[in-house]
């Protein structure tokens, strides 16, 4: 019985790690794609405020 519980815990940990990796890669890809546009928008806002 404890063996099954440990196996389930390992599966949960692996699933969490995989989800974290997917989220991190999605965020980095989003920043890579949206970064220049965001920076341009920020600089435009900053120049309009000054």
| Mean pLDDT, residues 23-30 | 90
Buried/exposed 15-43: b ≥16 CB within 10 Å, e otherwise: eeeeeeeeeeeeeeeeeeeeeeeeeeeee
The Cα 18–Cα 11 span in angstroms is: 10
pLDDT at 44 over 60: yes
CA 18-30-40 angle, to 5 degrees, is: 160
CA 4-10-15 angle, to 5 degrees, is: 125
pLDDT digits (tens, 9 = 90+) for 3-20: 788 999 999 999 999 999
């Amino acid at each position: 019985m404890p063996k099954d519980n440990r196996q389930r815990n390992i599966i949960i940990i692996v699933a969490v790690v995989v989800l974290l990796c997917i989220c991190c890669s999605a965020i980095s890809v989003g920043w890579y794609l949206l970064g220049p546009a965001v920076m341009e928008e920020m600089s435009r806002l900053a120049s309009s405020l000054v």
